Amino acid sequence: MTRKVVVIGAGVAGMATALICAGQGDTVTLVEKAPQLGPNLRGFHRGGVAFDIGVHYLGAIDEHDIMPSYFRYLGLAPLTFIPFQKEGFERLILESSESVIDVPVGCERVADMASSLFPDDSSGISDYLDQVQARCSTSPFLNFDTKYAPSSSFHLFENLSVENVLNERMESPEARALFGVGSMLYGTPPSRAPFDIHAKVVGTYYRSAGMVEGGGEALTRSFVQALVDRGVECIVGAAVQTIELSASGAVAAVQLDNGRQLEADMCVCCTHPGILPELLPQKALRPVYRKRLHSLQSTPSAYAIFARCRRPVPEFWGRATCVLSSPDVEIGYSPTTPQEERPLWFYSTNYNGQQGLTIFTSGFFDEVSDWQDSSRTSRPGEYTEFKQRCTERILHRVYRLFPSLRGNLDILESATPLTFKDYLSSPGGGLYGPMHTVDQSDVLPMTKVPGLFLAGQATIAPGVLGAIVSSCVACGVIYGFETILEGVRSCR
């Protein structure tokens, strides 16, 4: 029997969920409050340069690895992947020791590189990387040869932190920084980050790393065309006001702020779960669950600079570059850390022959909360001055670290945590939604409301892969896990 499914939120998780449900034969409507589908994934243009926001690089991109397999399963048109540098898809620069470490593709090569730099930790490094690979192999969504079991849908709920694992195996603070800095890919400090999630995020990048040709914009176009091909009705520029329930308490309809009501047998919410209580009748959720959703701690935000390179800067091509002021990764998560000492991340785009450079550093919403009630189209002068001072401080440090960039960057745009709050529709401007931590249990894809499910970064893991897997897990609850996994496996 064909059912009516409404999917709320057209980020990666929402678009993937809509495609899977439509592929199972259901009638699907996808609702997005922004004017376009994939508003964060598609990035933006300034001064003739394309900048990515929702994705900077992908892991496991080889032809028959998991990322292309998922794209084929979702019905995306063939995409060209541009591999990052095999000798160093990621570069870590430690200011305190002036060390530069290039991380190669392949766990064995990573082990050889790290062991040569930190010979006293060689055994611990090998054991750490073995554990990373072992954790990846346990999930049927990362290792298609693994049979599904209820305990292996994606990650384990455990209190073993990344910090625990690294401290037990490595003495060198720099070695621990090398393998702990990956926690910034999902916005959780190593002391609180579950090792299982960490392993399954960073492990895919060790397999292969790169980006889709054309970036997030090309990836979004492919998603949109797949939605058209599968007959998904897409509604943009309309926000969900309420999820209506039947007399028995099951999902019955979704009311939009444009007056339209969508009949629904099922609803999959792919937005921040903290908004769910406001969409449902007061008594639909238990008070303890409502309180839990409201109290979810979000990942940190950021300050960002988007620049056009006047001349090519090849040192940033084909890799992500991270600068740490000290080997202590934790300081990047502390608002008491001076801005001049916070981590810096550099991502280069080079679409249509024009190189752009995006620079991120840690940010916290309390630093901009004085202006949170202002309109994004008319911020007060005090905020504009604050934003300009932050940009100048970041650039001062950048030019000191990379003298070749001085006089070579046209600053086209900048952002603060307030910017990210508005454009990511994320409480506090968190870049990766709610934190996944050893002391904050994750939100599950099923709810107590019949016909209501959750997908997205909060349920599984951040990133494009995490969002797609979250959709597969939610749809596995709806249609059966083996049904979903068999479909994915057939696309290898």
The string of DSSP codes covering 69-121 is: HHHHHTTPPP--EEEPPTT-SEEEEETTTTEEEEE-SSHHHHHHHHHHH-GGG
Name the residue among 486, 485, 474, 483 with its Cα closest to residue 445: 474
Q: What is the pLDDT of residue 442?
A: 80
Q: How far apart are CA 148 and CA 423, in angstroms?
A: 37
At 83, give phi and psi (nearest 5°).
-65, 145
Is residue 268 within 8 A of residue 454, CB to CB? The reply is yes
Tell me the sheet residues that pair with 305: 359, 414
Full-prediction pTM beyond 0.75? yes
Q: What is the pLDDT of residue 154?
A: 57
Q: How far apart are CA 395 and CA 403, in angstroms?
A: 11
What stretches in the chain show pLDDT beneath 70? 151-157
Q: What is the pLDDT of residue 280?
A: 97
Q: What is the pLDDT of residue 426?
A: 82
pLDDT 10s digits, 415-432: 999 999 988 888 889 999
Token digits for 23? 């592929």
Is residue 215 within 8 A of residue 347, CB to CB? The reply is no
Which CATH superfamily, name and number, covers 4-40+59-80+213-296+436-489?
Answer: FAD/NAD(P)-binding domain (3.50.50.60)
How does DSSP assign 8-70, residue by residue?
A: E--SHHHHHHHHHHHHTT-EEEEEESSSSSSTTTT-EEETTEEE-SS-S-EES-STTSHHHHH
Domain positions in the chain: 4-40+59-80+213-296+436-489, 105-211, 300-431
What are the CA-CA distances from residue 62 to residues 65, 69, 70, 250 (Å)? 5, 9, 12, 43
Q: What is the pLDDT of residue 461?
A: 87
Name the residue among 324, 363, 358 with its Cα closest to residue 341: 324
**Cα dihedral angle (223, 225, 226, 230), rounded to 10 degrees?**
140
Q: Pairing relation of β-strands 266-269 and 452-454?
A: parallel
Is residue 265 within 8 A of residue 3, CB to CB? The reply is yes
Q: What is the pLDDT of residue 440?
A: 77
User: How far from each other are the two terminal CA atoms of the chain, in whole angstroms?
Assistant: 29
Q: What is the pLDDT of residue 439?
A: 86
Q: How far apart are CA 292 and CA 434, in angstroms?
A: 12
Domain 105-211 annotated CATH 2.60.40:
no
pLDDT 10s digits, 101-150: 999 999 999 999 999 999 999 999 999 999 999 999 999 999 999 988 87
Q: How far apart are CA 363 and CA 454, in angstroms?
A: 28
Q: What is the pLDDT of residue 135?
A: 93
Name the residue among 273, 324, 330, 332 with its Cα closest to residue 303: 332
- Tabulate helix, strand, coil % of the chain (nearest 5): 40, 20, 40
Q: What is the pLDDT of residue 352?
A: 78
At 305, give phi and psi (nearest 5°).
-125, 135
Q: Which helix (H) or strand (E) holds 258?
A: none
Q: What is the pLDDT of residue 412?
A: 97
